[in-house]
Amino acid sequence: MQIKKLQEDAVQLNELQQQMSDLWYENGELRDKLSNIQARTMRHNLIFTGIPEVYGEEENTENIVKAVIRDKVLNRLTLKMRFGNRPRKIVARFHRFKQRELVRKNARNLAGTGISIFEQFPPEMEHKRKELYPVLRKAREWNNRAYMVRD
């Protein structure tokens, strides 16, 4: 009687382990799909950092970002560095991907201004990219042409 009960329990345990394994696999697939969807929705976004905040009055971030793009990114003007507290990041969404790429590629004109422009990625993808940065730097040290493509 006890042996039969133990055998039934072992079969049930194996079934539960298989179900759990299937759920882990499905969970991983769903996380990948979610990350992919997040990456697609963030594809048109750029993150602007280092833009001084306006205190004491209502801040219109859209106009501020447009002014930075117009005056500093595309026209190569310089901006004095701001010292003190670091301002919050601004996420800008572009309606046209070509406009976003034009701004991103001309971001090097901001060198020395304290303003930076980055692509926006989901947290999982950002974590993967952080792990790959040392590999990228090492490849560039060996004078290889290396860059990251999405994830």
Contact yes or no for 114/85 (Cβ under 8 A): no
**Does the pLDDT value for residue 19 go beyond 90?**
yes
Residue 146 amino acid letter: A
pLDDT of residue 78: 40
pTM for the whole structure: 0.58
pLDDT of residue 76: 45
What is the CATH architecture assignment of 43-120? 2-Layer Sandwich (3.30)
- State pLDDT tens for residues 52-70: 777 767 777 888 888 888 7
pLDDT of residue 74: 64
What is the spatial distance between Cα 26 and Cα 93, in angstroms, rounded to a whole number? 32
Read off the pLDDT of each residue in 112-127 and give the average, rounded to a whole number.
Answer: 84
